[in-house]
Chain A
Amino acid sequence: MSVAVASQYLKYNTKVARSRATSEPVWVRWTLIATVLVFLSLFLFIPLAAVFTEGLRKGFATYIAAIVEPDALSAIKLTLIAAAIALPLNLIFGLAAAWAIAKFEFKGKSMLITLIDLPFAVSPVIAGLIYVLIFGLQGWLGEWLSDYDIKVVFAIPGIVLATIFVTFPFIARELIPLMQAQGKEEEEAALVLGASGWQIFWRVTIPNVKWGLLYGVILTNARAMGEFGAVSVVSGHIRGLTNTMPLHVEILYNEYNYAAAFAVASLLAFLALITLALKSYVEWQAAKNAVRAEQEIE
Chain B
Amino acid sequence: MAILKIKKRNNILPGFGLSLGFTLFYLSLIVLIPLSASFIKSAELSFPDFWAAVSSPRVVASYKLTFGASFVGALINAIFGLLTAWVLTRYTFPGKKIVDALVDLPFALPTAVAGIALTAVYAKNGWIGSLLEPLGINVAFTPLGVVVALTFIGLPFVVRTVQPALEDLEAETEEAAASLGANRWQTFHKIILPAIWPALLTGFALAFARAIGEYGSVIFIAGNMPMVSEITPLIIITKLEQYDYAGATAVAVVMLVISFQLLLIINALQWWMSNRLTTSK
Contact = CB atoms under 8 A, between A and B. Distances in A.
Interface of A: 1, 5, 8-9, 12-13, 15-16, 18-19, 21-24, 28-29, 32-33, 35-37, 39-40, 42-48, 50-51, 54, 89, 92-93, 95-97, 99-101, 103-108, 112, 114-126, 129-134, 136, 138-140, 161, 164-165, 168, 184, 187-188, 191, 197, 200-201, 219, 222-223, 225-229, 232-233, 245-247, 249-250, 253, 258, 261-262, 265, 268-269, 271-273, 275-277, 279-280
Nearest to B173: A22
Contacts of A42: 128
A274 to B, nearest CB: 9
B37 A126 contact: no
A246 B112 contact: yes
Given A50-B121, A122-B259, A115 B31 contact: yes
Contacts of A121: 209, 213, 259-260, 262-263
Contact of A123 (B15, B171, B212, B267): B212
A223 B106 CA distance: 11
18 contacts: A1-B160, A36-B80, A40-B102, A43-B148, A43-B151, A47-B117, A96-B18, A97-B23, A100-B16, A106-B4, A118-B35, A118-B260, A120-B263, A133-B38, A197-B15, A246-B112, A265-B116, A276-B108
A50 B23 contact: no
Nearest to B233: A125
B135 interface: no
Given A105-B9, A126-B256, A268 B113 contact: yes
Interface of B: 1, 3-7, 9, 11-16, 18-20, 22-24, 26-27, 30-35, 37-38, 41, 80, 83-84, 86-87, 90-93, 97, 99, 101-114, 116-118, 120-121, 126-128, 148, 151-152, 155, 160, 163-164, 167-168, 171, 174-175, 178-179, 184, 187, 209, 212-216, 220, 233-234, 236-237, 240, 243, 245, 248-249, 252, 255-256, 259-260, 262-264, 267
B107 A219 contact: yes
B113 A126 contact: no
B5 A48 contact: no
B86 to A, nearest CB: 7
Contacts of A229: 111, 214-216, 233
A273 to B, nearest CB: 8
Given A122-B35, A226-B111, 9 more contacts: A21-B178, A32-B86, A32-B91, A36-B80, A47-B120, A130-B34, A229-B233, A276-B102, A280-B101
B174 A22 contact: yes
B102 A133 contact: no
Given A9-B167, A36-B84, A140-B37, A22 B240 contact: no
Max chain A Cβ within 10 angstroms of own Cβ: one of B9, B93, B105:
B105
Contacts of B117: 47-48, 50-51, 54, 265, 269
A33 B91 contact: yes
A227 B216 CA distance: 9
Contacts of A28: 184
Nearest to A18: B171
B35 A107 contact: no
Contacts of A99: 15, 19
Contacts of A265: 110, 112-113, 116-117
Given A39-B83, A48-B117, A269 B109 contact: yes
A250 B112 CA distance: 7
Contacts of B260: 118, 121
A100 B20 contact: yes
A191 B212 CA distance: 48
A80 B111 CA distance: 17
A124 B175 contact: no
The 5 closest A-B pairs by CB, nearest first: A123-B213, A226-B110, A228-B216, A229-B215, A21-B178
B113 to A, nearest CB: 4
Nearest to B38: A130
Given A121-B263, A228-B215, A23 B108 contact: no
Nearest to A221: B108
Given A22-B174, A133-B41, A222 B107 contact: yes
Nearest to A92: B22
Given A54-B120, A129-B38, A276-B104, A228 B111 contact: yes
A132 B167 contact: no
Nearest to A98: B19
Contact of A118 (B31, B93, B249): B31
